[in-house]
Amino acid sequence: EYEAARLLLRKGALVSVRDDLGKVAGYLRVQRPTFAQFEGLAVTGGLDAFDSSMRARQTGVEAVTERDVKTNARAAVSALEEVCYVLGKDKTYEEMVDRMTPPKVAVSGGVREERRDFLAEEEMIIGNVNRFEGARP
């Protein structure tokens, strides 16, 4: 049972999860320099701890219990949820900055200046309100 689960992490359908976590950890290290020290290990370490506890159970180490495996599995899932939250928050922030940045308008002589498009801002605000109003039960 543990061997089959470990094979999924190493060579099966879940191998992309391990690879993706490595890529995400690299991305987050760039976005958040402190990520490399503590939080990076929290994400990739959860999956490694889960794998290690399954290996210990597979080889018959009595000090590692089924409860340890389940605890490490929950920690790995929590780490994945945190990554999803952080990446979603970054994306939401980037979209908000894009929406709030005034458009650049070309003027005579090839000089560009920033000019607020109040109509577009109003339409965006109304669109956001309508979107949230429609989401109410």
Digit-coded pLDDT (tens) for 17-74: 777 777 776 666 655 555 555 555 666 777 788 888 888 988 888 898 889 888 888 8
Give the CB-side neighbour count of residue 55, counting CA atoms within 13 A: 9
Picking from 72, 92, 112, the residue at the C-terminal end of a domain is 92
Strand ranges, E, within 6-77: none
Predicted TM-score (pTM) of this structure: 0.49
Q: Which residue range forms the structural domain that includes residue 137?
A: 102-137
Confidence of residue 129 (pLDDT cuts 50, 70, 90): confident
Q: How many domains does the chain have?
A: 2
Distances (CA, A) of 104 to 34, 114, 115: 34, 5, 6
The string of pLDDT tens digits covering residues 97-125 is 677 676 666 566 655 555 666 777 788 78
Beta strand pairing status for 112-114 and 104-106?
antiparallel
| Residue entry with tokens 């990520």 | 35
Domain annotation covers residue 97: no
Q: Are residues 14 and 80 in the same domain?
A: yes
